Amino acid sequence: MFKKGLGEEACQAITRFLYNNVIPFNVAKSEEFTVMLDLVSRHNLGFKLPSYHEIRVNNLKEEVENTSLALQAHRDDGRK
């Protein structure tokens, strides 16, 4: 087997992740996907992935709150 560079390995791992978890490949076109990977790549090697619990409870709760705030701001703009 040929030795791949780290970048090629990372791209292959992303593809494998999407494929094995039956995530549509068009997710790669989403802004959130790009932002997520950009932020992870900027982090030092010590980046700690969020746990299942952190994603499912803490981070989801925060994201729901962020979405509610954005929705309220949109409603407020529509009233002006």
Domain layout of the chain by residue ranges: 1-45, 50-80
Say whether pLDDT at 40 is over 60. yes
- Are 10 and 17 within 8 A, CB to CB? no
- Are 18 and 25 within 8 A, CB to CB? yes
Predicted TM-score (pTM) of the model is: 0.74
**Torsion angle of the four alpha carbons 15, 18, 24, 26, in this order, in degrees rounded to the nearest 10:** -40
> 26-36: per-residue pLDDT in tens?
999 999 999 99
Largest CA distance in the chain: 63
- Are 68 and 62 within 8 A, CB to CB? no
β strands within the chain, DSSP E: none
